[in-house]
Amino acid sequence: MDGSFILPAIILVPLIGAILTLFMGGEKQKYARIVAFVFTLITLGLTAIIMLGGDDLSQFDFSANWIDSAGLKMSLLFTVDGLSILMVFLTAVLEVIVVAFSYKEGDRPNYFFTLLLAIEVGLMGVYTAADYFLFYIMWEITLIPMYFLISWYGGPRRHYSAIKFFIYTHVASLVMLIGIFALAFQAAEINGGVVDFSFAAITQASPFFNEVFQTLVFGLLFFGFAVKMPAVPFHTWLPDAHTEAPTAGSVLLAGVMLKMGSYGIIRVCIENLELGAQNWQSIMIFMGLLAMIYGAYACIAQRDLKKMVAYSSISHMGLVMVSMGCLTTTGIEFAIFQMFAHGLISAMLFMVCGMAGHNIGTREIPLLGGMAGKMPIYATFMMFAFMASLGLPGLIGFWGEFGIVYAFYDWCVDNDVIYLLVFCLLSLLLTAGYYLFAMQRTLFGRLTKKIDLTHVHDVDKIEAICLGVLALLVVLYGVWPELALTMINLYSFPGVI
């Protein structure tokens, strides 16, 4: 079977869905959620075909000429490999879940679901593009609907948070664009003068890039991607964006949009700039350790459940940075695994935090207490998500963290800096501490008398199904991690030591 239509289809299907929901105003608004759900479900079905397509992922490659004149070549190239396939699958799964989870949305639902579908268009494009200019366009497409999602449907400080999110990430992407142009023009000098933005053309020329060029361009690209992860000290936009964003926005932001940064570092920086990566290795390790410790300490001080989970994302993405910084096959492999694991777990975390705000009326930890007796199903899902995030064996988070610690241990031994492992272990200890502390104050003890509980209700059927699907995936990949590792190993791991 010719599968080359599938990759462009997983971009076109949500695009068509976004256009349809956009024009479903007036009385038709109530059907927007159904249309959005159907189109995200179709996209998930197409993604499942890729996941079940066997070891030969090249059968899904798609190429078409876009611009090919006057020494300039840009193409519509789409591909999928072991680095991107889990991100594509994760995007498709989370889109279906957030559309279903948001079925109660009554404020201009046609615009709300249009924005969710538009985000899916950009995300699928980022993770499947095989041309740098196309990659950049898709990267920018993700920013615009997320900006409006926060600004229109967020909390009291939504406008400030949306502008901060857009400025940080857009400025970073412009710096990234400079790095992309530098790669393309330098490759053109080696490849015969044609400025070809395809991944293949630049990868072919990259071994001939000199060390100074690689180091400088790595810095430009790394900055653009590190802001997106986000890495400390470029992280300050994230807690604000998460706190003010609607639950669906937070799920997509933490679940898949943050992974664009780490994906870009591996796909663009490490693949093409091996000498630059080696020169920046110490900085990557340092920034990763700093993010791990800072994010974990910041969690302890938070009063808002959602902001606590936002800082935990900074800490967990610090783990990914450390793992990538090892520049080893094991390090890259488990960095990708942790990206996937954190995407599933953070989606659950932000959903239970969002439900606290909607169902209880507050996310303030000091105002809560004894919710396990009042909302037992909710409490079960919250405990499960917290346990998964702190790395409980048998759940997917354990394998991501274990693999990263193992890869970092090897790097520390090889470089005679075994003492650095203490920071990694301290981060894991702090993670267990702030989750257990938050859980104890929120779910157990005496039932709170600080808020009105007459309106409080437990998880409804659709919310339970959405959380249950995520919990099932967390358990499935936690018990059988080889399901994910087999897909990751289809990646060739270029540029590693």
Per-residue pLDDT of the chain (497 residues; tens, 9 = 90+): 567 889 999 999 999 999 999 998 778 888 999 999 999 999 999 999 999 987 888 889 999 988 888 788 889 999 999 999 999 999 999 999 999 999 888 788 999 999 999 999 999 999 999 999 999 999 999 999 999 999 999 888 999 999 999 999 999 999 999 999 999 999 999 888 888 899 999 999 999 999 999 999 999 999 999 999 989 889 899 999 988 999 999 999 999 999 999 999 999 999 999 999 999 999 999 999 999 999 999 999 898 899 999 999 999 999 999 999 999 999 999 999 999 999 999 999 999 999 988 888 888 888 888 888 888 999 999 999 999 999 999 999 999 999 999 999 999 999 999 999 999 889 989 999 999 999 988 888 788 877 777 788 889 899 999 999 999 999 999 999 999 999 999 887 776 65
- What's the pLDDT score for residue 446? 80
Range of the domain at 475: 291-496
150/363 Cα distance (integer angstroms):
18
> Would 237 be classed as within a structural domain?
no
> Would 65 be classed as within a structural domain?
no
Tally of domains within the chain: 1
> Would 223 be classed as within a structural domain?
no
Could you tell me which of 307, 312, 286 has the C-alpha nearest to residue 432? 312
> Would 330 be classed as within a structural domain?
yes
Could you tell me which of 391, 425, 411 has the C-alpha nearest to residue 329? 411
224/170 Cα distance (integer angstroms):
9
> Would 463 be classed as within a structural domain?
yes
Distances (CA, A) of 417 to 247, 352, 402: 41, 40, 19
As to burial, measured by CB atoms within 10 angstroms (0-12 exposed, 13-18 middle, 19+ buried), residue 137 is middle
Could you tell me which of 293, 332, 319 has the C-alpha nearest to residue 434? 293
pTM greater than 0.75 (yes/no): yes
156/246 Cα distance (integer angstroms):
11
- What's the pLDDT score for residue 263? 96
> Would 462 be classed as within a structural domain?
yes
- What's the pLDDT score for residue 311? 94
Residues forming a β-bridge with 63 = 77
Give the DSSP letter of residue 231.
P
> Would 408 be classed as within a structural domain?
yes
| Token pair for 450 | 């600080």
Taking the C-alpha atoms of 159, 239, 115 and 199 in order, what is their torsion angle to the nearest 10 degrees? Answer: 120
**DSSP letter for each residue of 190-254:** HHTS-EE-BHHHHHHHGGGS-HHHHHHHHHHHHHHHHHHTTPTTS-THHHHHHHHS-HHHHHHII
> Would 466 be classed as within a structural domain?
yes
